[in-house]
Structure 1
Amino acid sequence: MSIKITSFALTLTCIATLIGACTTTQPPAATASAAEAQLVSNAQPASPETEYGNFTEEQLYQAIISELGAQRGVVEEAGDSYFDLALETRDLGIIRRAVQFASANNDMNAMLQLGLLWAEIDPADAQPHLMLSFQFLETGNYKQALSHMARVIELGGDIDFSALAARTGQLDPRTRAVLIDNLRQLTREFSDQQSIRLTLVQLLAQNGEYQEALLEFQLLIQLVDLSPRLVMLQAQILQSAGDADQAIRVMRNGVREFGDDKNLRLGYSQLLVQNEQYEAAQAQFAALMELDPQDWETLFSMALLDMELENYERAVERFTQLARIDQRADEARYYLGYIHEQREEFDAAIAAYREVRIGTQNFLAAQQQATRLAVQSGNLESAHAHLNQLSRGQPRLEILFNTIESGVLIQNDFIPEAKGLLDTALNKYPNETDLLFARVLFYDNVGDRAGSEQDLRQIILMQPEDSRALNHLGYMLADQTDRHAEALDLIERAIAISPEDPAIIDSLGWVQYKLGRYEEALANLQRAYELFPDPEVASHVGEVMWMMGREEQAKEVWRGALENQPDSELIQEVVERLQVEL
């Protein structure tokens, strides 16, 4: 038996009567998602009331049960039921209701299938193509999304194509080029659609085709009035194309035309900073402050610029104001410490660094700087007491501070004090690997290879997968002993755990060199140098090349390293040892 229903609202009315006021959970409303709404600039006209088709008693029962389930909060099951019912009945009213449930459940697969079904049944309706555009954008199927976006326009809708550009930044150039070709075709078919040309400009810029992007931009501004957004887009393309001067001119003119637009002026300020025109940038930041005297982010930027320009008095004034009103306060205190340090006001610097609060971005760096300055001033007890007070009741922080303090003591030649600190800490926290490694660094500094090896083996015994300890011991044995086979075993264990670590790759190459395996050594050392162009790795690469008879290549590597770091002792040592004239 089948039942003719002229309005699906009748079904919902019957359901509402059955459940009365006992329900607290509402089924999904017939509204577009926020993301879909971003695609549409003009809403579609309301569709006429849908005539629903014939339903069997079983299908009607299924719809009622689904609505009841939704009222009880079982939305996922209701969505599955409506999905099956939509495929079975191919009724537009059921399809639309199924879409609402699929959207509420974030069921992307159901949304796609329902959208395709809807478009097939009602090919003159733009709404399913709008929905499919969004779904294909979300799944990264941009070509399909573009096709449905074009269909929306063909059916009289209005859609914002810039949603496409917002998602294509990470595409490879070849895939993006296909989309660019499709967009060019659409600009010919829909020459009055400004968002298509805007998206074409954006994708061309993403693909590095800056001159083409600028040509399309000129066509775009024939369709639309110039706006702050377009000014910034043109300037960004010019900057990316290497024409910084023209980018600045465009932004300067834009600011003159849209003087009250804060975002545009902020973009202009940032562009000036990017091009190291700090004084001009400061003037624009000052104009922003006139527009909004409580724009603390702009005040922070002005303080940073003052610091960069070494206008320390003004920078201190502005950072102090920010700290006082608790706006970017801990960053302000950190930079106050830096400024006082530059002015050799060390007590003030220590005080400012110590005011940086725990849990903030610069907390550890600030405490390290304060500790360094206090130790350099000979105030070892004050430095230790402050760190102890901060870490009281927090074992992990106490251990971290012990490693920081020991490192500072070693750097400043307080050798007995560093050893005493680490021994005391290890008595309190025996077998703590971070403390053991800190003591390894101490032993390395004083040339106690036996002490280093003992602590490293203890770490490896407790944590056999600690690639840092395996590599450190392996490199030490390769570089300082003739136990090269043992070193190779340790380093191969380390690289099996961390195959992309350039320090371990360097160690592997170095031990292979010590074992006379020059070709393998050079391949690994060159790979390490590509990943991490460090002077020590450069010294290794050059030495192996030299021993292989590739003297000119070795010299080229060493010269390149010295260009980046002219005072590198590591490069100087290998050059002198091998008696090379660069």
Structure 2
Amino acid sequence: MSGLFPAMPRLLIAASLLALLGACATTPEPRGPDTAERQAIKPEAEPPAPPERAIPEDALYPLLVAEFALRRQAYDVALEQYMTLAETLRDRGVSAHATHIAQYLQREPEALAAALLWVELEPGNLEANNTLATLLARDGRTPEALDHLAVIARGGKKANFPIVLNRFRQLDRAEQQQLVAGLESLSDEFPGSASLLLTRALAYDELEDNARALDTLAILFEQSPYQYQALLLEAKLLLEQEDEAPFARIESALEAEPDNNKLRLQYARLLTRSDIAAARGQFEILSARAPRDGDLLFSLALINHEAGDDLTAKAYLRQLLDLGQRTDEAHYYLGRIAEKDGQLQEAVESYMAVTEPDSPDFFSAKGRIGRILLDGGQPERARALFNDLRRDHPDADERLYALEAELLMSAGRASESMALLNRALSELPESTALRYSRSILGEKQGNLALMESDLRTILENDPNNATALNALGYSLANRTQRYQEAHDLIARALELEPEEPAILDSMGWVLYRLGRYDEALPYLERAYRAFPDPEVAAHLGEVLWVSGNAERAREVWRDALEKAPSHEILVSTIQRYDVSMLQSAP
């Protein structure tokens, strides 16, 4: 340091640096996503100044580098310096500064490390505990977060207890129970905490313990009769129980607070599940209060369309167009209504007016035009449409090729679909989506060599592509006798996605092909519970039948036929055995 400040005594250097740090503290700090969280917990009075202590000589230069980096907005450099200094100096101010910088940069691993040190050095600091609790919850370490929230509550501040439910479903059952036990223990300490009661109710709901959730909400309503989240949670729970009056408390709250538009909006959305007419009434109240609110107008259009009142729905959609709000969606639904009424030219014009590729309805609209043209015997116009779209939207060419190929296939033009996919892959040879589409079409056309070649090409580039592993394994199990190879491919897919119903179905099917019926059934039962698809039903019923459980097979097939009476695989499976099996056994 003597070379850098030859004439400046050490104490003067230290004083100058502290002045610099103080000046920096008064400089407006750039607001980041964490600023509001930091400001949520503030001490009522300024904390006592930290005791003065000598700054180690080897820390002066790094501190200066860090502070000048901040002034020059070289935040990465500043953060690196402060993270190192926080560990070496173990100073609460430096640790706090490092935490704030890391939060501003959204560097959560560094923020968490700095906050842990900050709380270690200053365990009673409420802001430090609040910051650490938030970071721990985001990291899935919710039981630890609860301990720091308790510190905040004991300090007389409002603790945001619901954050401990972040990633609750990813915890194992023992961790979930540990967290709930901690919440219950804190409720004994803070019986008047509405936040804590709400968190407990939400946790019970996650555990599907509706009775305890409702009991906890009842206690909360004694303290806060119109707590917003609690009202919505109670309505959800009562709807699940098919209660006769699930919205009674919400309706009382709206009578007491008729201008509570936030609650009324959620009430209206809940009503769409069970009472479209009542939902429409609530949305009309909201729209009358905000007549230029496009979201409300769009909701009213959809509700009226759902209720069969397309005349009113069109009026709301045209209002959106007049306001210039949600225009792509308005054009799309005007097209749907026109198509439903048989006004195909008008429908095409509306669908063509959906122009933004980022719109959620862009590809649906273009697909519906293509279907109208193909069904109307105009394949040349459909081809020209998609050629023009690919020219105008080159960034979307992959999806447009896939969409056109799918339309051609569904219109019974498989050879044209294959030719299109061949052309597409000549232009986009690295496209996994297009190669996968071609493999599926090849399998349907009986070209197993093409199917296998495309899927293996995908796997060469992405060995952990569970979809390709499963597709290849299932096709080999279904169309060849290479059962052990198929089993190995499906097993790899299942390791990658152990709860995926399609892969569970494939595993059950290949085990059946291998003659391992008892092992096959649990996989097929799990697949059918998660995804009651007619093809899965066909497989499950067949394995049940050959395993001697004819009555259960009949039950599965009968239920599936009610939903999909013309499903090719389901019907052919039943016919392969005996149609009369659908009659109940005597």
TM over 0.5: yes
- 1:484–1:511 contact (8 Å) kept in structure 2: no
Structure 2 Cα separation of the partners of residues 185 and 254 of structure 1: 31
- TM-aligned CA deviation for residue 289 of structure 1: 1.0
Q: How does 1:96-115 map to 2 (within 5 A)?
A: 96-106=93-103, 107-115=111-119
* CA shift digits 1:70-104 (9 cap, x unpaired): 223442354245424643xxxxxx42243223332
Given that 2:96 and 2:115 are in contact with CA atoms closer than 8 Å, whether structure 1 keeps it comes out as yes
Q: What amino acid is the match of 1:344?
A: G
1:292 is matched with which residue: 282, 290, 313? 290
- SS, match of residue 158 in structure 1: coil
Match of 1:13 among 10, 14, 19: 19
CA distance in 2, matches of 1:424, 1:27: 58
Could you tell me how far 1:166 is from its partner in structure 2? 5.6
Residue 349 of structure 2 corresponds to residue 351 of structure 1:
yes
Asked if structure 2 preserves the Cα contact closer than 8 Å seen for 1:5 and 1:52, the reply is no
Cα 1:241–1:571, aligned 2, differ >3 Å: closer, same or farther? Answer: closer
Q: Does the CA contact (< 8 Å) of 2:214 and 2:234 recur in 1?
A: no
Partner residue in 2 for 1:378:
377
Amino acid of the structure 2 residue aligned with 1:76: L
Deviations along 1:376-413, one digit per CA (max 9) or x if unpaired, are 12222222221111112767855654554454345444
- Aligned residue among 454, 461, 467 for 1:459: 454
Contact conserved, 1:228 with 1:264, CA < 8 A, in 2? no
Residues 505 and 528 of structure 1 are in contact (CA less than 8 Å); yes or no, is this contact kept in structure 2?
A: yes
> Does 2:309 match 1:311?
yes
Give distance in 2, aligned partners of 1:544 and 1:269: 46
Say which of 80, 83, 87 aligns to 2:86.
83
Aligned to 2:74: none
- The alignment's TM-score, normalised by the length of structure 2, stands at 0.77
Q: 1:39·1:161 contact (CA, 8 Å) conserved in 2?
A: no
8 Å Cα contact 1:234/1:250 also seen in 2:
no
1:70 matched residue in structure 2: 67
- Tell me the residue number matched to 1:147: 147
Write the distance in 1 (CA, Å) between the matches of 2:434 and 2:151.
65
Secondary structure of 2:272's match? helix
| Most deviating of 376-385 and 178-187 | 178-187
What does 1:197-212 align with in structure 2 at a 5 Å threshold?
A: 197-212=197-212
In the alignment, is the contact (CA less than 8 A) between 1:228 and 1:254 conserved in 2? Answer: no
Please report how far the alpha carbon of residue 472 of structure 1 lies from its aligned counterpart in structure 2 after TM superposition.
6.4
CA contact (8 A) 2:201 2:214 kept: yes
Q: Is the 8 A contact 1:320 1:332 kept in 2?
A: yes
Tell me the residue number matched to 1:158. Answer: 157
Report the 3-state secondary structure (helix = DSSP H, G, I; strand = E; otherwise coil) of the residue aligned with 1:159.
coil
Deviates more, 1:212-221 or 1:555-564: 212-221
Displacement, 1:64?
A: 6.3
- Specify the alignment match of 2:175 in structure 1: 175
Distance of aligned partners of 1:508 and 1:339 in 2 relative to their CA distance in 1, 3 Å threshold? same
Per the normalisation by structure 1, the TM-score is 0.78
What letter is aligned with 1:104?
I
Tell me: CA distance 1:37–1:348, structure 2 relative to 1, closer, same or farther (3 Å).
same
Give distance in 2, aligned partners of 1:217 and 1:426: 58
Aligned pairs (5 A) from 1:440-455: 449=446, 452-455=447-450
Q: Deviations over 1:148-177 (max 9, x none)?
A: 43344445x323343545636435565344
Give me the whole-angstrom Cα distance separating, in 2, the residues matched to 1:183 and 1:432: 50
- Structure 1 distance, partners of 2:522, 2:185, is 49
CA contact (8 A) 1:213 1:237 kept: no
Cα distance in structure 1, aligned partners of 2:474 and 2:144 = 54
1:305 CA displacement: 0.3
Equivalent residue, structure 1, for 2:73: none
Shift of 1:313: 1.0
Structure showing greater radius of gyration is 1
Structure 2 counterpart SS, 1:371: helix
- Whether the 8 Å CA contact 1:25–1:71 is kept in 2: the answer is no
Offset at 1:309?
0.6
Once structures 1 and 2 are overlaid, which stretch shifts more, 355-364 or 277-286? Answer: 355-364
Amino acid at match of 1:365: S
Deviations 1:322-377, CA, capped at 9 Å, x for gaps: 24433222222222222112111122122222222223222222212111111112
Distance 1:311 1:317 in 2: 10
C-alpha separation in 2, matches of 1:14 and 1:433? 56
Distance of 1:457 and 1:29 partners within structure 2 = 55
CA contact under 8 A between 2:477 and 2:510: conserved in structure 1? yes
CA contact (8 A) 1:470 1:493 kept: yes
Output the CA distance in 2 between the equivalents of 1:258 and 1:185.
34
Superposed CA RMSD in Å reads: 4.4
Query: Given the superposition, is the C-alpha separation of residues 574 and 179 from structure 1 closer, same or farther in structure 2, using an over 3 Å criterion?
Result: closer
Runs of 5+ unmatched residues, structure 2: 1-8, 71-76, 104-110
Name which of structure 1's ranges 102-111 and 457-466 shifts more when overlaid on structure 2: 457-466
Structure 1 residues 263 and 166, CA, compared in 2 at 3 Å: closer, same or farther? farther
User: What's the counterpart of residue 44 of structure 1?
Assistant: 44
Secondary structure (helix, strand or coil) at the match of 1:105 reads: helix
C-alpha deviation, 1:442, in angstroms: 6.3
Is 1:389 the counterpart of 2:388 in the alignment?
yes
- Does residue 1:34 correspond to 2:29, yes or no? no
Aligned residues: 551
State the alpha-carbon separation in 2 of the partners of residues 127 and 432 from structure 1. Answer: 50
* Change in CA separation of 1:95 and 1:305 when aligned onto 2, cut-off 3 Å: same
Paired residues of 1:477 and 1:484 also in contact (CA < 8 A)? yes
Q: Judge conservation of contact 1:505–1:527 (CA < 8 Å) in 2.
A: yes
Distance in 2 separating the partners of 1:72 and 1:425: 51
C-alpha change, 1:453 and 1:292, in structure 2 (3 Å) is same
Task: Tell me the distance in 1 between the aligned counterparts of 2:194 and 2:435.
Answer: 65
Gaps of 5+ in 1: 18-22, 88-93
Query: Within 2, Cα distance between the matches of 1:77 and 1:436?
Result: 45
Q: Does 1:301 align with 2:302?
A: no
Contact 2:187 2:193 in 1 (8 A): yes
Q: Give the deviation of 1:541 after TM superposition.
A: 3.1
CA contact 1:340–1:348 (8 Å) conserved in 2: yes
- Cα distance per residue 1:124-168 (max 9 Å; x no partner): x6565555545544544444443343344445x323343545636
**Contact (CA 8 Å) 2:565, 2:571: kept in 1 or not?**
no
Identity %: 27
Is the partner of 1:581 in helix, strand or coil?
A: helix
- Answer whether contact 1:210 1:240 (CA < 8 A) is retained: no
The answer on 1:118 being equivalent to 2:122 is: yes
- Tell me the residue number matched to 1:90: none
* Aligned residue type for 1:102: T
CA distance 1:297–1:12, change in 2 (3 Å): same
Q: Name 1:255's counterpart in structure 2.
A: 254
User: Aligned partners of 1:13 and 1:435: how far apart in 2?
Assistant: 63
Which among 265, 280, 302 is matched to residue 278 of structure 2? 280
Superposition deviation, residue 536 in structure 1 = 2.6
Amino acid aligned to 2:390: S
The residue type paired with residue 302 of structure 1 is L
